Structure 1
């Protein structure tokens, strides 16, 4: 029997590993594991890159870019808002 103490191996993608652990806690292990498995199989539901390591399937940047104009970017949400303030320069009165 080997009695040597093994030093813990650091994860090559520690921030992604933490993020994935958080997502599993929120959405469930099965759903997140399925997305990762599909990403590794060539589908686009999962892609991660950290410290020169990549996992999953990257998609074209053109399909993931949504242009957002300043009016949408500066928008805020108010409790009880009916949406009538959207596109105006003022906050809603809700």
Structure 2
């Protein structure tokens, strides 16, 4: 019997959140998502006509995911000095 593979309704957001989980840990991301679902502007995602979380009233200070962010890699213990450069965290150490 073939079991149908269910495609995620927000695949790009799911992949991005998986990378955030890897970088910051499940507990941190779970808390941000749960608070966003509860009405706080800590997490908001929109993809394929679906939304999750609470959008911030001040959209100037939100983090929009575009092509420059999709290819970014996050490392545990990152001090952020690599952001905006061509150097990855692992190359700085």
Q: With the length of structure 1 as denominator, give the TM-score of the two structures.
A: 0.62
What is the rounded CA distance, in whole Å, between the counterparts of 1:54 and 1:10 in structure 2? 17
What is the rounded CA distance, in whole Å, between the counterparts of 1:44 and 1:65 in structure 2? 13
Pair member with larger Rg: 1
Which among 29, 53, 56 is matched to residue 56 of structure 1? 53
Which residues of structure 1 form unaligned runs of 5+?
Answer: 67-75, 78-94
Q: How many residues align?
A: 63
Counterparts of 1:4-43 in structure 2, within 5 Å, are 4-43=1-40
Which residues of structure 2 form unaligned runs of 5+?
Answer: 62-83, 86-93
SS in 2 for 1:54: strand
What is the rounded CA distance, in whole Å, between the counterparts of 1:11 and 1:35 in structure 2? 20
Using CA pairs under 8 Å that are at least 6 residues apart, name the structure with larger relative contact order, 1 or 2. Answer: 2
